Structure 1
């Protein structure tokens, strides 16, 4: 683990009187898209060290956010996170499948990944990545911003397209790294080559012109129409409230009948 990040997480635990049960480096570093200028995004889940804080009239904040040097750090209370997981939240899927830091509870991580694999709604995820892809493409058609902004927007559109394609083809949770998605998604070789060039340029801090970016979008935006119609074929999730409750009780060291 990066020593600086580990030290930051330990200081956050001490200052806020919490226990971090998982911490991961999200964003470009987990998508295999990092460049020399990429910031580091750290996301974590926590429980309050003193269980009475959950039983007090004045509730404690359920989000902790801060910037430290080149680190953007945000943590959510486990109750907030689990209520969103019940809805198959895409952000939390990505957090749990990103590069985790040493100190994350391994038993907790294994349980959550197993839970997501068996209970998460692939349809919800598919709809999310579809709408993100469309939204990014729409931004490009309306935006007159810099080449850098346009390139990064297309990178996100392409990543979401690959995530959506994997879901539709494999009917399973997708990997996060674009390099792995390019290997596993069945697609036209020309588009695959164009995406690889787009991603490699991002890693090297090289940005395509708006004209070139729009041409890339024209290669796959038509595929989104058929993809939208296939979303209904993705399975919906199954109820996971009981397992999430048990996991929270274990994190708080509470027996099912109370102590």
Structure 2
């Protein structure tokens, strides 16, 4: 599958006249909770030639698309963000792009872009912003856990989001993305931990999609959501503004990828 994905990315470069800066697995396969039937969620960042950016017409919706998406086919879901979109979201401490930067396998990384971007993570890390994101995901998944039969992945997505929040609360740093890595640092009692590990096994090996609600999970999720929402109220949400560094990285990447010299930059 690795070669199929790389070939698809190379085809995207040719058909859209772009260069892929970074491409990685995302979602359940990167989180360590995928079954054999899980989709391959490939995410990438790409850059256009210099002339695409030198225009009097504004970028944005209805002007210039800043995403490339392929139809899902044969368990393969591929989509990417244009580099300036990615950098603006990175500036906002967007958890999705920060997760991509920690994901594996890496399908393409032919340039220095991601290595340089990783050096700026401390400039954009904002605990309150990340916590808000993961709390919202946990709440959305928890809302779907109230029926007679519920999805296994909804439990795992809610728990993973809560664990990411607890990691930020405990270590004040961007959390890892692998489910078991997060779980290993969580302070949960033995019974709950065993139930979680069994749930992961049922998702990965038993291919179970739905189960009856598990009260111990619902109680834990509800309790942690209340606790985290109280905690976040007292956090200071001020962000650094690394725009100068990100502009510099963008220009350096244009030069590196397209081998163009331009005095204006």
Helix, strand or coil at the partner of 2:78? strand
Partner of 1:53: 52
Q: Do the aligned partners of 2:21 and 2:46 also contact (CA within 8 Å) in 1?
A: yes
Residue 174 of structure 2 corresponds to residue 173 of structure 1? yes
Alignment partner of 2:86 out of 77, 81, 92: 81
Contact 1:249 1:256 in 2 (8 A): no
* Range moving further from structure 2, 112-121 or 6-15: 112-121
| TM-aligned CA deviation for residue 107 of structure 1 | 2.5
Runs of 4+ deviating beyond 6 Å: none
Quick one: structure 1 residues 105 and 238, their matched pair in 2 at CA, closer, same or farther if it must change by over 3 Å?
Answer: farther
Question: How far apart in 2 are the matches of 1:187 and 1:237?
Answer: 32
Q: Is the 8 A contact 1:47 1:78 kept in 2?
A: yes
2:25·2:107 contact (CA, 8 Å) conserved in 1? Answer: no
1:139-158 alignment, distance < 5 Å: 139-141=144-146, 143=147, 147=150, 150-158=151-159
- Counterpart secondary structure, 1:53: helix
- 2:60 is aligned to none
Q: Does the 8 Å CA contact 1:23/1:44 hold for their aligned counterparts?
A: yes
Q: Distance in 2 between matches of 1:74 and 1:164?
A: 26
Separation in 1, partners of 2:14, 2:28: 28
| Offset at residue 9 of structure 1 (A) | 0.6
The answer to whether residue 96 in structure 2 is matched with residue 91 in structure 1 is: yes
Preserved CA contact (<8 Å) 2:22 2:110: yes
Q: Secondary structure at the match of 2:65?
A: coil
Determine if the alignment matches structure 1 residue 65 to structure 2 residue 69: yes
Secondary structure at 2:36 match in 1:
coil
| Closer/same/farther in 2, CA of residues 185 and 257 from structure 1, 3 Å limit | farther
Q: Distance in 1 between matches of 2:198 and 2:250?
A: 44
Any gaps of 5 or more consecutive residues in structure 2?
A: 58-62
Contact 2:5 2:107 in 1 (8 A): no
Q: What is the Cα deviation at residue 234 of structure 1?
A: 7.0
Q: Secondary structure at the match of 1:133?
A: helix
TM-score normalised by L of structure 2? 0.87
Superimposed CA distance per residue, residues 211-241 of structure 1 (whole angstroms, 9 cap, x where no aligned partner)? 33x4421233113222222223477542211
Are residues 196 and 234 of structure 1, via their aligned partners in 2, closer, same or farther at CA, if it must alter by over 3 Å?
A: farther
Q: 2:193 aligns to what?
A: 192
Counterpart for residue 138 of structure 1: 143
Partner of 1:244: 246
Question: Which piece of structure 1 moves more, 13-22 or 97-106?
Answer: 97-106
Matched residues in 1 for 2:21 and 2:138: separation? 32
Provide closer, same or farther for how the CA distance between residues 256 and 195 of structure 1 changes in structure 2, counting only shifts above 3 A.
farther
2:208 to 203, 206, 209: 206
Pair 1:210–1:235, CA change in 2 (3 A):
same
Q: 8 Å contact 1:249–1:255 — kept in the other structure?
A: no
Number of matched pairs: 253
Q: CA deviation at 1:170?
A: 0.9
SS of 1:81's equivalent in the other structure is helix
Unaligned runs of 5+ in 1: none
Shift of 1:258: 2.3
What secondary structure sits across from 2:31 in the alignment?
Answer: coil
